[in-house]
Chains A and B, each alone.
Chain A
Amino acid sequence: MLNSGVNVLFEGINFLRLLEGLFHTLRIALIAIVISIVMGIIIGMIRTTKNKVVQFPFKLYLELFRIIPILVWLFVIYYIIPVNFNVELSADVVALIVFSLWGTAELSDIVRGAIISLPKHQVESSLALGLSKFQMYRYVLLPQAAKRSIPPMINLITRMIKTTALLTMIGVVEVIKVGQQIIQFYNSEYPTVAFWIYGIIFFFYFCICFPLSWISRKLEQKWAT
């Protein structure tokens, strides 16, 4: 009986469909990650300023994303914007917006932390050398900060990929949704299909996230200062 369920995976194009769903989620995650990296570095640099008036709104933005669950953010953007502003948003776009905002917030904090943790004499020496502010960031601060922020950045990426599982709740047709469709189709024929489909999705996510977190850990050890 256990064997009958697993057969579904190899029947027709089921396995391919699951993979397609997985790539769909990964694409959303990847675009959001790229946006987050670009925006996160810029905002992270802005946040190193000592000006309290500039710091406050960014701090508030970060804390809002830290305190309120991502699923709630997805719901809020998904339902509030179309109802109140008459803008049609597809679930994919909502996902992209929320993930980019979240990633940017978290990444800006990572970048800020990395720049701030650099020894003070780095800034002072570069000023003494007569570098402009742009040159200072470009040649002195960012290359060093990159080393410190890449391992936590990879961790954040892993977290973002894991969180894409939530997208099924706002109706993005990603791997879980496809899995549910397959389960519905075969459920009466093979009762154990749910076990195998969810099992394989479990395995998919593990296959993507495990190498990433492994790399992050290795880099952390290698670059430990």
Chain B
Amino acid sequence: MDWHYIIEVLPFYKTALWLTIKLAAIGIFFATMVGFICSTIQYFKVKILSKIVQVYLEIARNTPLLIQLFFLYFGLPKVGVMLSGEMCAIIGLTFLGGSYMAETFRAGMEAVSKSQVESGKALGLSSFQLVRYVIFPQAFSYSVPAYGANCIFLIKETSVFSGIAILELTNTTKNLMGIYYKTNEALFMLVVGYLMILLPFSLFLMWLERRVRYAEFGR
């Protein structure tokens, strides 16, 4: 290990780490939104829309992210849709993540027992109130573990962005290896970079899972 070299390239990794975190955070945010909307549509079986959502989910879940990104980044400009690399990355992550999130939230909503929904109706809650006060709070707590797993999955998927020339951790490593041939050091930094993001995050999720168990009533 050449520690001098590692200190020298540290700034590159710092930038790359921030970019990875930034793209992952924006992607997860939009994916959560998309997932939330899609799962609500599916839960209430809104006409037509739920069919469209179904098609979207199947397409997003059954194709690799790399190919989705290649299609966005290399394919679309040829038919006149220009997107920057980062835009493609965010759209790709949202597209893929949204489908996983939708599945998770829907499972959470369906886990809320029927008697809860019926009691809510018997109490005379409007459907908005039913959703706001009965279904979502419980569904939220059911979804947390799977939501966390999805977030980790999406953070890991950012490594695929290296395929469309975004200078995140993986691509930075590849470039540095190409310039200096310091393979061991560069890969060491790459692994450390991901561990720095993912270890604290997964520990936080474990803590959060314990905290939100409050709603698992009657299980």
Chain A residues in the interface with B (C-beta under 8 A)? 2, 5, 66-72, 75-76, 79-80, 83-84, 158, 162-166, 168-169, 176, 183, 191-199, 201-202, 205-206, 209-210, 213
Q: Would you give the shortest CB distance from B16 to chain A, in whole angstroms?
A: 13
Chain B residues in the interface with A (C-beta under 8 A)? 58-59, 61-68, 70-71, 74-76, 78-79, 152, 156-157, 159-160, 162-163, 170, 173-174, 177, 183-184, 187, 190-191, 194-195, 198-199, 202
Q: Would you give the shortest CB distance from B201 to chain A, in whole angstroms?
A: 9
7 pairs, CB–CB < 8 Å, chain A vs chain B: A80-B184, A195-B76, A195-B79, A196-B75, A198-B74, A202-B71, A213-B58
A164 to chain B: which residues have CB within 8 Å?
64
Are the C-beta atoms of A165 and B191 separated by less than 8 Å? no
Are the C-beta atoms of B62 and A165 separated by less than 8 Å? no
Are the C-beta atoms of B64 and A165 separated by less than 8 Å? yes
- Cβ-neighbour of B202 out of A67, A71, A192, A198 (below 8 A): A67
Are the C-beta atoms of B64 and A162 separated by less than 8 Å? yes
Alpha-carbon distance A147/B190, docked complex (angstroms)? 39
- What 13 new A-B contacts, CB under 8 Å, besides A168-B163, A192-B79? A67-B152, A67-B156, A68-B198, A69-B194, A71-B160, A75-B174, A165-B65, A195-B78, A198-B70, A202-B67, A205-B67, A206-B59, A210-B58
A72 to chain B: which residues have CB within 8 Å?
159, 170, 190-191, 194
Q: Would you give the shortest CB distance from A123 to chain B, in whole angstroms?
A: 24
Please name the residue on chain A nearest to B71 by beta carbon. Answer: A198
Q: Would you give the shortest CB distance from A183 to chain B, in whole angstroms?
A: 8
A162 to chain B: which residues have CB within 8 Å?
62-64
